[in-house]
């Protein structure tokens, strides 16, 4: 007899800042049986996954792989592989995850120059350029979308600034990818890290990353091959060894590359999930996926506003896929979240740090970036707020969200499909 | 249209050193829909997983959690959290994974004292004690089962030696756990790390670990809470900060503990898998699972020997779950492996380092530690060796394996069911 009941997760509708419900096809992908890590079929799947994420990241970078861990593992792998002790790293902070980049960079031995803008705003490009001129960092580490504040940092001009000053440019796009535009090559990014559990529509536990040739060549200069599998043909690089073995991207690239030099044992089921997430999103088309996130996000915002609630932060720089709502005065925000979960099986998010207890965060991501999920969440919230005695505009959210979702201003231009086409040809 | 074909892994029988085929129930577990990371049901599943792995590790350690990454991530988390720069770490090496412990300890800043015994043997306890007396390390890091050589290092007496000399005792048991005895508490282990993809019968990508109170208190002295979620109530420890954020076990414990302080986003699908692996093994009963591995391993060895093949290494110290076979002279070991895969859909293992090209490694692990898999592998191997002109004893393997599997000498005594009982009560 089992010690505990068989797994039977409640049918939650996950409308928080992530994780969200995975696409059913992604869950099905993970139930496929395993194959050996050097089986030709497995290495084909790995190569396909590389090609698919080139499409997702809008890049032609050869070095596009998965780190076997959560999104945070992807961040740490990039930072610990790029930063040598003593390197200057500039970290503009506009929310919790900027603090995380700062902290991980510090632990990697960087001399971190950080500055913070008020939560609910983003960092002006001019401020970034001034800081670069003043501090001459080796690396700029910048979050694209920070779920803690719902803000979307503009990146399009930042790569050009970095290029002008010879600075490496890294962004963590975990919260924003495929819910908002990202053009890694066009925007001049040297390193990008992500996770599956937001708009990509998969579970946490696999972190896609991509690296420019410049970033790879820096990492190669720190190359090291471990004893036990090293042969005389292997030459180590001249620069300092990377402080982590697991996150030594040089070794990860040798494992994903033609030498197939054993490192970790690839997490096959998570690779199945990551591959399926990318297939689903590229099949729908990146511009359509982003447009769907725009529609769903705008509909949610419209519904909340119509109800009489106040949105948090600079709405012109909000991510499509998550919105902050000020908790109305006089009610217990946590009690309402619990009621949403227990009465409606709907999860909305709490908040961290300075926003804790002040806003809820409501996500419309991936599989859940749909009209029905938006409407359901709004009417449930309206019912509970009404019950709690909050004066909301009864009946306003539904038609308002519906109208916003259906309006025609949501087309997305300019998503580059080149990489996607390339990947198709390789298949 | 999808860019690549839908996932459709070939029906391989994975008889190498791991990964092996996962139990179907584990694959099914992963196809369950996600729930939020602080959903009461999710935190219940996390608590249950802690209790289940106390049973698997045979420990009462409160600090029994999953690291979100492959087995190697578990190793690095333990070492980087326990080792402060300059600490002396003793690493006796008897195969590839000893080299890995050495390398990871070095990257963590340790002063590593390593010595190596010939591959195919294990390290005498007396040698370990002498080295401890000479070098006075803070930590002993020792692999239990090293798939590179198939050897099983005796650990039962080592904890007492460490205790006598005030040395922390860590073992990586990824390759050996539930295929061979392990009694973490009775044997005096301070830290143990594992992975799912061997005898536990799951996919790679989640690393169960357990830590004694002594190990936890060392880690707590290095406590650090990241900015962005830190409050005035949080007090940092006085010792050096752990060099990794992702592998800072103090933070991981705060996430799994009652404070539920956010760190990474738990990889829910891998947690489902890890939980199911433990349930399946404890349901069968640890002593029965180990006995099944003994029977299957002994049957495989008997079949190979009867065929006229030579086994590699000290057979009195072999793991139950994997055997090394000397590749007969005059044949191409890789070509035969390819034929096993393409003709029979059976995968057997190649080898690393000094054994590369000299032995195959054949595993009988987890779901695949069965009579039918042993017999199928043996007769397929016999057919291909015969075809390749190797003089094998025709027809000898089948009856010999069958007889060995059925013989009565395989009962396992002394597996402690206390922890399992404890876990059941908590359920």
What pLDDT is stored for residue B230 in this prediction? Answer: 67
Confirm whether A182 is domain-assigned.
yes
Give chain B positions within 8 Å (CB) of A76. Answer: 244-246
Predicted confidence band at A225 (pLDDT cuts at 50, 70, 90)? confident
Q: Looking at A283, A309, A329, which one is the last position of a domain?
A: A283
| B197 vs A contacts (CB less than 8 Å) | 34, 265
B278 shares its domain with B304:
no
Say what the pLDDT of residue A238 is. 67
Cβ–Cβ contacts within 10 Å for residue B310, how many? 12
**In the prediction, which pLDDT does B413 show?**
59
Residue A7: alpha-carbon gap to chain centroid: 28
Set of chain A residues whose Cβ sits within 8 Å of the Cβ of B420: 3
Picking from B223, B258, B283, the residue at the C-terminal end of a domain is B283
Counting the structural domains of chain B, the total is 2
**Assigned domain for B1 exists:** no
Is B361 inside a domain boundary?
yes
List, for residues A289-319, the tens digit of each pLDDT value: 999 999 999 999 999 999 999 999 999 999 9
Residues 144-163 of A with CB under 8 A from B: 148
Residue B331 and residue B210 share a domain: no
Which comes out higher in pLDDT, residue A222 or B49?
B49
Together in a domain, B100 and B208: yes
Cα of A351 to nearest chain B Cα, Å: 10
User: Residues 45-84, chain B: which have Cβ within 8 Å of A?
Assistant: 45, 48, 51-52, 55, 68-73, 76, 80
Residue A100 has pLDDT above 70, yes or no: yes
User: pLDDT by residue (tens digit) across A12-63?
Assistant: 999 999 999 999 999 999 999 999 999 999 999 999 999 999 999 999 999 9
- A24 → chain B, closest CA residue: B33
ipTM of the complex: 0.94
Taking only residues 248 to 277 of chain A, the set having a beta carbon closer than 8 angstroms to any beta carbon of chain B reads 262-270, 272-273, 275-276
Closest approach of chain A CAs to the CA of B203, in angstroms? Answer: 6
For the entire predicted model, the pTM comes to: 0.94
Q: What is the CATH number of the domain that holds A209?
A: 3.40.640.10
| H-run or E-run covering A285 | none
Structure confidence at residue B424 (pLDDT): 37
Predicted confidence at residue B236, as pLDDT, reads 65
Binary contact (A267, B68; C-beta < 8 A): no
B-contacting residues in A 172-191 (Cβ below 8 Å): none
Q: How far is CA A308 from CA A21, A327, A329, A400, B112, in A?
A: 28, 11, 13, 12, 64
DSSP string for residues in B135-153: H--SEEEEESEETTTTEE-
Domain co-membership, B37 together with B174: yes
Question: Which pLDDT belongs to residue A224?
Answer: 74
- For residue B187, is it within any domain? yes
Instruction: Report whether pLDDT(A421) > 50.
Output: no
Whether residue A15 is contained in a domain is answered as no
Distance, in angstroms, between A299 CA and closest chain B CA? 23
By the CB < 8 Å criterion, does A28 face chain B?
yes
Q: Specify whether A260 is located in the same domain as A320.
A: no
Domain boundary among A237, A260, A283: A283
Is residue B356 domain-shared with residue B258, that is, in the same domain? Answer: no
**Residue B336 in domain:** yes
Structural domain contains residue A244 = yes
Element (H, E) at A77: helix A71-82
Average pLDDT over residues A244-251: 96
Q: Are residues A268 and A356 in the same domain?
A: no
Chains A & B: contacts with CB separation below 8 Å: 305
pLDDT digits (tens, 9 = 90+) for A121-148: 999 999 999 999 999 999 999 999 999 9
pLDDT number for residue A235: 65
Contact B346/A at CB under 8 A: no
Question: What is the CATH classification number for the domain harbouring B369?
Answer: 3.90.1150.10
Q: What was the pLDDT predicted at B201?
A: 98
Distance from CA of B225 to the nearest CA of A (A): 10
Q: Which of B10, B69, B96 is facing A73, going by the closest CB pair?
A: B69
Quick check: is B148 in a domain? yes
- Side by side, the strands of the sheet bearing B139-143 are B63-67, B207-211, B191-193, B168-172, B139-143, B88-93, B111-116
pLDDT tens readout for residues B77-129: 999 999 999 999 999 999 999 999 999 999 999 999 999 999 999 999 999 99
B93 & B225 share domain: yes
Q: Which domain holds residue B310?
A: 287-410
Is the distance from CB of A69 to CB of A249 less than 8 angstroms?
no
Query: CB–CB of B244 and A32 under 8 A?
Result: no
State whether B270 and B295 are in the same domain.
Answer: no
- In Å, how far is B293's CA from the nearest CA of chain A? 20
DSSP per-residue letters across B19-63: --PPPHHHHHHHTSPP--TT-HHHHHHHHHHHHHHHHHHT---SE
Whether residue B318 sits in one domain with residue B256: no
CB proximity B332 to A under 8 Å:
no
Residue ranges for chain B with pLDDT beneath 70? 228-233, 235-236, 238, 413-427
d(CA B163, CA B180): 23
B303 shares a domain with B156: no
Residues B189 and B218 in one domain: yes
């Amino acid at each position: 007899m089992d010690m505990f009941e068989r797994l039977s997760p409640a049918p939650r509708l996950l409308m928080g800042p992530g994780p969200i419900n995975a696409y059913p096809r992604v869950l099905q992908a993970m139930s496929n049986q395993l194959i050996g890590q050097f089986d030709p079929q497995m290495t084909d799947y790995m190569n396909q996954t590389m090609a698919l994420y080139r499409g997702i990241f809008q890049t032609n970078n050869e070095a596009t792989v998965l780190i076997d861990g959560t999104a945070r593992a992807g961040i740490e792998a990039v930072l610990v592989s790029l930063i040598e002790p003593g390197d200057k790293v500039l970290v503009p902070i506009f929310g919790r995850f900027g603090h995380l980049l700062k902290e991980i960079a510090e632990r990697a031995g960087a001399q971190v120059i950080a500055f913070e803008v008020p939560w609910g705003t983003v960092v002006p490009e001019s401020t970034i350029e001034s800081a670069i001129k003043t501090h001459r960092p080796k690396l700029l580490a910048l979050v694209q979308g920070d779920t803690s504040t719902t803000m979307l940092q503009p990146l399009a001009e930042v790569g050009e600034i970095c290029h002008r000053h010879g600075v490496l440019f890294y962004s963590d796009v975990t919260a924003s990818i495929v819910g908002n535009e990202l053009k890694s090559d066009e925007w001049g990014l040297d390193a990008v890290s992500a996770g599956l559990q937001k708009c990509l529509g998969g579970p946490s536990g696999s972190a896609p990353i991509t690296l420019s040739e410049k970033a790879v060549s820096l990492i190669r200069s720190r190359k090291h091959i471990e004893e036990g599998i090293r042969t005389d043909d292997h030459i180590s690089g001249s620069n300092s060894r990377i402080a982590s073995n697991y996150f030594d991207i040089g070794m990860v690239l040798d494992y994903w590359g033609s030498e197939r030099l054993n490192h970790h044992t690839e997490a096959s089921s998570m690779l199945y999930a990551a591959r399926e997430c990318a297939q689903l999103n590229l099949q729908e088309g990146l511009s359509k996926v982003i447009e769907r996130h725009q529609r769903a996000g705008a509909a949610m915002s419209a519904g909340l506003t119509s109800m009489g609630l106040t949105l948090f932060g600079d709405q012109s720089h909000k991510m499509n896929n998550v919105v902050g709502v000020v908790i109305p005065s006089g009610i217990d925000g946590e009690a309402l979240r619990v009621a949403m979960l227990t009465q409606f099986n709907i999860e909305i998010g709490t908040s961290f740090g300075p926003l804790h207890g002040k806003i809820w965060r409501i996500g419309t991501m991936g599989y859940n970036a749909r009209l029905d999920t938006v409407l359901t969440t709004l009417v449930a919230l309206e019912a509970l707020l009404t019950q709690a005695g909050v004066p909301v505009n009864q009946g306003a959210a539904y038609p308002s969200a519906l109208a916003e979702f259906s309006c025609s201003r949501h087309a997305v231009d300019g998503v580059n499909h080149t990489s996607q086409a390339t990947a198709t040809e390789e298949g």
